[in-house]
Amino acid sequence: MADLKIPNLNKNSDKYIFKKRLTLRRKSKRKLINELLIMFFLSIIMINIIYLIPNKLSVFNNFINNLAKLVEIIIEATQFIYELGLALFIVVSVIIVLILMIGTFLRVNKLLRRKSRKITFK
């Protein structure tokens, strides 16, 4: 029994799960300069890519038109989904009604075929 280790459920150190993984040291100037240069060159490259795209205004206008068409298509799709759901509801309801009606007729048939007992009044 001495080898059995029961975990301590009242640990307060669980509040800081990632405490050991955090680096609280300041970054060196060299590392900051490297990050600055990388960010600057990436931004320059992205600006050049944007500059090389022809007809930026027409692309933006087409984007707005395409977005409007997308919204229209989504609205039409929801209408189609509504109609499909309604049709499925009708089909399922008819099947359930048929099952209930068949069950009703079977119960009536069972009642009518039962041997009637003679009721005697005293």
Residue 76 lies in a domain: yes
Residue 69 lies in a domain: yes
Q: What pLDDT does 96 receive?
A: 97
Alpha helices (runs of H) in the chain, residue ranges in sequence order: 29-52, 56-113
Structure token digits, residue 81: 């989904």
Give per-residue pLDDT as tens, 53-86: 898 888 888 988 999 999 999 998 998 998 899 9
Residues of the chain with pLDDT > 90, as a percent, come to 46
Domain span including residue 100: 26-113
Residue 95 lies in a domain: yes
Number of domains in the chain: 1
Residue 120 lies in a domain: no
Average pLDDT over residues 90-95: 96
Q: For the whole prediction, is pTM greater than 0.75?
A: no
| CA separation for the pair 44, 38 (Å, rounded) | 10
Q: What pLDDT does 44 receive?
A: 96
CB of 81 closer than 8 Å to CB of 75: no
Structure token digits, residue 22: 């955090």
Residue 94 lies in a domain: yes
Give per-residue pLDDT as tens, 10-48: 555 556 666 666 666 788 889 999 999 999 999 999 999
Residue 4 lies in a domain: no
